[in-house]
Amino acid sequence: MSRELARDASLVWVASGVVGVSFGAIAVGGGLPVWVPVVMSVLVYAGSAQFSAVGVLLAGGGPLAAAATGLLLNTRTAAFSLAVADILGSGGRLSRLLGAHLVTDETVAFALAQADAERRRAAFWVSGVGLFVVWNVGVLAGALAGTALGDTAVYGLDAAFPAVLVALVLPTLREDAAVRRCAVVGAAVALAVSSVVPAGVPVLLALAGLLFYGRKAGAA
């Protein structure tokens, strides 16, 4: 089963590596030393939060402002952790600590897309460990490449993760009306505020869609 899950997760790993290269290159190309994106990726390990924090630093903001921005965007993982609480709580203290560090949009989406508890647990660990390794290798490669890659925006790398996430959640959206309702409300909120709040914040505000989980269609 692990080989099958690894095959399915490979698409997420490839996207992670590509975006990791972009992050490392953007950070170093903007003037940060190589160790900053590398250490941040190992210890923080939060793609969108890392991009936002580096954006603050490159714009002239201080470390405290960058950290606050990253923390704000990463509060969404609290809801993700609840969704995989049965997986994180199934092992010892070290297992729970490592599992909490591996909670990301992608690992949670991949785990929840599985049909049963055993497969969800295996999917979380297979996708999570692989994603962590590939992300950090990609960041290191991008940081070492520095400005040699040129303008990373021209490659459309920012579209890789959203495309993978859409592919992962589509089965659940088709099968679960409650989840579909939450997704529609969340997407509407994110779209409505996207032009007036900083990048990344719309994803956080989209969690408002969870308020509609369990409500019947048409209920007030």
Residue 42's alpha-carbon distances to 28, 36, 46, 127, 140, in angstroms, are 16, 10, 9, 16, 10
Q: How confident is the model at residue 149 (pLDDT cuts 50, 70, 90)?
A: low
Task: Flag whether pLDDT at 216 surpasses 50.
Answer: yes
Task: Flag whether pLDDT at 1 surpasses 80.
Answer: no
SS (H, E, C) 42-69: HHCCCHHHHHHHHHHHHCCCCHHHHHHH
- Burial class of residue 193 in the structure, from the number of CB atoms within 10 Å of its CB (0-12 exposed, 13-18 middle, 19+ buried): middle
Neighbours of 89 (CB within 10 A): 10
CA 52, 202, 135, 150 torsion-angle sign: negative
Whole-prediction pTM value?
A: 0.69
Please name the residues in contact with 174: beta carbons below 8 A apart, sequence gap of 6 or more: 180
Task: Flag whether pLDDT at 164 surpasses 70.
Answer: no
- Domain positions in the chain are 2-159, 176-220
Query: Crossing angle, helix 35-43 and helix 117-145, to 10 degrees?
Result: 170
Whole-angstrom Cα distance, residue 9 to residue 15? 10
- Give me the chain's average pLDDT, please: 79
**Among 33-42, 46-55, 197-206, whose mean pLDDT is lowest?**
197-206
Residue 26's alpha-carbon distances to 32, 94, 173, in angstroms, are 9, 33, 34
